Chains A and B, each alone.
Chain A
């Protein structure tokens, strides 16, 4: 059930009842997806991400904090060793405490590996759902309210934006189907966005630091936050004081989260080594980024050692986000900040070292925040983002949930109430033909991947095809958003008014 006829009683902002209905509906979809299978269900010996999370609860519960990131007799790092920053570990510990109080056997040290039972699955699922409810949902609501309070927009309605953010099928499928806790780091990031655009820079800095400390992948947004906050500070009366204040807040938050490891440099380095597993290669599996897609032609892994590849990917990543960084320092604006987040996360996704297919969730977050301004872009990105995770979700046996949430998303995307708002688009005929062809080919790829067996000589032919298609789209989209960011008017009214403060 969803939200129709909203426009008539919520023109610009939303009533609490509207917020409640949308949130409950988003919750219902999460609950429904969560009754499906999870990654690595009943597939020993390594299982999947579900087992990884369960294993981290087991490790954090039964070993001292200092041993969490070290190889010990009870903590075998080669079996799903902890490879997220300490905040993730604390979260595992907290969830472990809850589950341990009613089902200790599911978290027993060593003996519980691969533990699966309906009850434990339900409890694990609810740890994700409750995290989502406590972090991502409030952040999304806060963002939409702030967004509408600041920009008296007429182009669309708040309920639509909120449902676009909350009903992101990629996030739902990965968190509640595949099993991960992206809702926490993305929720913290979203909260940080809402905070900084409502001028609560300190709170924003704290929340973003926490996001980085939950998943290091949140660093994809760091250039955007850095440049936007720096650009804003430079326009204040005491720029240096402002910068120092924010720097102190970030450092203090880091220190707090890393407290148990601050006793020696060696301990910190041990954790860091777990967070940046360079030895795992420049890419794993099939991911629609530069390295994987071009490896069809250039065998990066074979031609280069790890060290030069590291430098190469670093240079490419930095040079691709530099333009958007400069733009935000020069003329920071709410709008430009969201584009900068999009651009910097895209450049990390496309060029950085060791990217997972799930990392497409990061560009999707700012894209969903820009859904009102860029509906066509957002719809297009969502589709190809899902396609890029399709092989993964097929392996998890989540095809049914994939189809249903995808359809649900596009139904709300072009719900009867919204129709007028999207009509503004006038595409040229060649553009339309191109888009239709791309859609057709991706439909065919969906089907082929599901039905046909690849030729024996190229067992990963279809994956490679899907990835190249998605890669081409992502490159086009990020070129578009980079240009779009630079074309934003330099003197947006908000920056002007801030100057006068």
Chain B
């Protein structure tokens, strides 16, 4: 049995065991979409209102759900019944959970392509980071989503680009955009890179290639959106895809830049009030859930979607410039991950799950150098921990903790073995202190202090808070998680930026 199959099979066993776990309302969302796509004609997919969980993924994903609904109705017809609301019969759970596991096969394919050139140990570490990601297990196989499938497509396109097969990579990326439009944030990098790398070679070849790529991408979009244009539904589709009525942050703040912005606002309001200024209390609260139209900020200026959009573009501009002047396949993973990180840090209404969009791709290059490994070690722990609030029931508590701890230990063992081996073989070539690793050096003192912070926050949130404060300040534990993770995310973002400025 090959390493690849072994890793995947081990993960599959864990996924089987996770089937009886808690699942979130996203389960019903996807169950409803199965019913929707199988029982309604195409032109009603985006206008149907029979459930609050309206279809808000792009058409290719809807087609994917349609494909899944075909075996589903064989398996248990009630799954695809539009009127069986909140169905969670054992057969429905089994079918949908298994469908997630099967759709992970595309992640396997991408991981295979990406890790094929690596030597044995490095390959295993990469598979560990991609296929055994605890965050993916938590989000996909407990909480319930299809991120493994989407990230599989994403990684596939990155693998193709890294191999120099630009046209195919572009097509796959277009297909990804038509499956989940959140990946739009990576589009600028793709655009600049493909323009400069694929469409090079003189005016004639360049134009021909530009046209080829344009036609290919347009064909993908036409295949996805065409039917809805034909039925005159396209406006409705876009209304569903881009609901800007939602607020800047989610009820649980995703650990990004806006956490600091909100905190600064609260802090300023507090200080100004002390000095006697009258500060109107904002109508909307960040912790109460949905944020409406009114400005939730007391002092600082209101943030609009346009502002976040410009900020994201501004943040990713260094990497666009780099990609423009020196487009190289070996840097594409880093650039694209950075772009996704920018979207996560500064975007509008970001979910904590979106951190997967750059944590998983960064796994490919985590074994490039000791610095990368150090950064990745910290980042993946932060990202996984920030998803802990998704599983709030006591039954899953030990599961999420064990998943993270085991993963962190395996990562630590893998990295330290790999880099100490590398030093040994390179040993004669002068002692480069940078690539020397004794395990404990994988995380410096600051890192150890930061990681201990997680333990403290967890102890506070789980034991001390209910004991000391009781029901007062119920939002405090989650807020602490957000803030602490946001520090790590901010560091990771800055580190990536520095890495791009220096080395690409």
- Cβ B6 vs Cβ A24 within 8 A: no
A17-B413, A21-B409, A31-B398 given as contacts; is B17 within 8 A of A401 (CB)? Answer: yes
Q: How far is A18 from B121 in the complex, measured between Cα atoms in Å?
A: 17
Is A424 among interface residues, defined by CB-CB distance under 8 A?
no
Question: Which residues of A pack against B, CB within 8 Å?
Answer: 1-5, 8-9, 17-18, 20-21, 24-25, 27-29, 31-33, 35-36, 118, 122, 400-401, 403-405, 407-408, 411, 414-416
* CB within 8 Å of A: which B6-50 residues: 6-7, 9-10, 12-14, 16-21
A400-B16, A408-B13 given as contacts; is B406 within 8 A of A25 (CB)? Answer: yes
Q: How far is A2 from B407 in the complex, measured between Cα atoms in Å?
A: 9
Q: How far is A24 from B125 in the complex, measured between Cα atoms in Å?
A: 19
Question: Which residues of B pack against A, CB within 8 Å?
Answer: 1-3, 6-7, 9-10, 12-14, 16-21, 121, 124-125, 128, 132, 134, 394-395, 398-399, 402-403, 405-407, 409-410, 412-414, 417, 421
- Grouping DSSP codes into helix (H, G, I), strand (E, B) and loop, the A interface class, with mixed when no group exceeds half, is helix
Q: How far is A31 from B399 in the complex, measured between Cα atoms in Å?
A: 7
Complex partner residue of B414 from A2, A5, A28, A407, CB under 8 angstroms: A5
- Cβ B13 vs Cβ A1 within 8 A: no
Give min CB distance, B380 to chain A, whole Å.
Answer: 13
Q: How far is A8 from B413 in the complex, measured between Cα atoms in Å?
A: 11
In the complex, residue of chain A having the shortest beta-carbon distance to the beta carbon of B132: A1
Complex partner residue of B1 from A27, A401, A414, CB under 8 angstroms: A414
Q: How far is A415 from B7 in the complex, measured between Cα atoms in Å?
A: 9
A400: chain B residues within 8 A (beta carbon): 16-17, 19-20
- Cβ B6 vs Cβ A415 within 8 A: yes
- Cβ B413 vs Cβ A411 within 8 A: no
- Cβ A416 vs Cβ B403 within 8 A: no
Q: How far is A36 from B394 in the complex, measured between Cα atoms in Å?
A: 15
- Cβ A118 vs Cβ B17 within 8 A: no
- Cβ B3 vs Cβ A33 within 8 A: no
Q: List 10 A-B contacts (CB under 8 A).
A: A21-B409, A24-B405, A27-B402, A28-B403, A31-B402, A32-B14, A35-B399, A401-B17, A404-B16, A411-B9
Give min CB distance, A451 to chain B, whole Å.
Answer: 15
- Grouping DSSP codes into helix (H, G, I), strand (E, B) and loop, the B interface class, with mixed when no group exceeds half, is helix
Q: How far is A5 from B121 in the complex, measured between Cα atoms in Å?
A: 7
- Cβ B410 vs Cβ A21 within 8 A: yes
- Cβ B402 vs Cβ A28 within 8 A: yes
Q: How far is A18 from B412 in the complex, measured between Cα atoms in Å?
A: 11
- Cβ B9 vs Cβ A5 within 8 A: no
Give min CB distance, B96 to chain A, whole Å.
Answer: 14
Give min CB distance, B120 to chain A, whole Å.
Answer: 8
B14: chain A residues within 8 A (beta carbon): 1, 32, 404, 408
In the complex, residue of chain A having the shortest beta-carbon distance to the beta carbon of B411: A1
Complex partner residue of B406 from A4, A21, A33, A404, CB under 8 angstroms: A21
B402: chain A residues within 8 A (beta carbon): 24, 27-28, 31
A9-B417, A21-B406, A24-B406 given as contacts; is B124 within 8 A of A4 (CB)? Answer: yes
A27: chain B residues within 8 A (beta carbon): 402
A18: chain B residues within 8 A (beta carbon): 413
- Cβ B20 vs Cβ A122 within 8 A: no
Q: How far is A461 from B7 in the complex, measured between Cα atoms in Å?
A: 39
Give min CB distance, A270 to chain B, whole Å.
Answer: 41
Q: How far is A290 from B26 in the complex, measured between Cα atoms in Å?
A: 53
Q: How far is A18 from B413 in the complex, measured between Cα atoms in Å?
A: 9
Give min CB distance, B6 to chain A, whole Å.
Answer: 5
Q: How far is A181 from B165 in the complex, measured between Cα atoms in Å?
A: 58
B6: chain A residues within 8 A (beta carbon): 4, 411, 415-416
Q: How far is A8 from B121 in the complex, measured between Cα atoms in Å?
A: 10
B412: chain A residues within 8 A (beta carbon): 17
Q: How far is A1 from B405 in the complex, measured between Cα atoms in Å?
A: 11
Q: How far is A4 from B418 in the complex, measured between Cα atoms in Å?
A: 13
Q: How far is A9 from B413 in the complex, measured between Cα atoms in Å?
A: 9
A411-B10, A416-B1 given as contacts; is B17 within 8 A of A33 (CB)? Answer: yes
Q: How far is A407 from B17 in the complex, measured between Cα atoms in Å?
A: 11
- Cβ A403 vs Cβ B413 within 8 A: no
Complex partner residue of A1 from B9, B407, B417, CB under 8 angstroms: B407
